[in-house]
Structures are given as structure tokens and as C-alpha cells.
Amino acid sequence: IGTIAFQVTICMQIDDFWFYWSHRLLHHRSIYKYIHKKHHEFRHTIPIAVEYAHPVEDFISNTVSTLLGPFILRSHLLGMLL
């Protein structure tokens, strides 16, 4: 249990770190209008608006941030499901 709790805690930190910096990168003026602007076109503050994104943004900010921690820590597949 100690190892799982440690890995989940570290994975949460890695996820948050990656998401924050990748999201800031997507606001860079050279790529904002091509990728991230779609996310800001949704005008209502409802939970589904979080998922309203360009596929590249979804991969960079959401998918990679979720999988990066378990990949770095070489977590067991079942640990990733937590």
C-alpha cells in the first residue's frame, strides 16, 4: 500500500505539472489560434467544456499528462487505474 500511495501522489504531481506547462505553451501566440483557440470558443462554464479541445491539445495536455507519471515510475497497469 505504501508504494501505491507514493506512486499515486507522485503521478498526481507529474500530471499537474505537465498539464499546467503544456496549457501555458498552448497559449503561445504562434500556436494559439491553430490549436488552443477551439477550447476557448466554448462560452459556458460547464464540465464538458474542459473536453472541448483540438485533438492535438487533447493529446498533449490531457493524454500525455495522465500517462507520463505511470510511465516515468514504471507503475503496474492496475496502479494506473487508481
Could you report the per-residue pLDDT of 5-48, keeping only the tens digit for each?
Answer: 899 899 999 999 999 999 999 999 999 999 988 888 877 778 87
Residue of 5, 28, 27, 25 lying closest to 17 (CA atoms): 25
Interatomic CA distance for residues 8 and 27, integer angstroms: 29
Q: How far is CA 77 from CA 13, 15, 29, 67, in A?
A: 19, 17, 38, 11
Q: How far is CA 22 from CA 10, 17, 60, in A?
A: 18, 9, 7
Mean pLDDT of 54-72: 92
Task: Report pLDDT for 82.
Answer: 65
Please state whether the predicted TM-score (pTM) of the whole model is above 0.85.
no
Task: Report pLDDT for 11.
Answer: 92
Task: Report pLDDT for 51.
Answer: 78
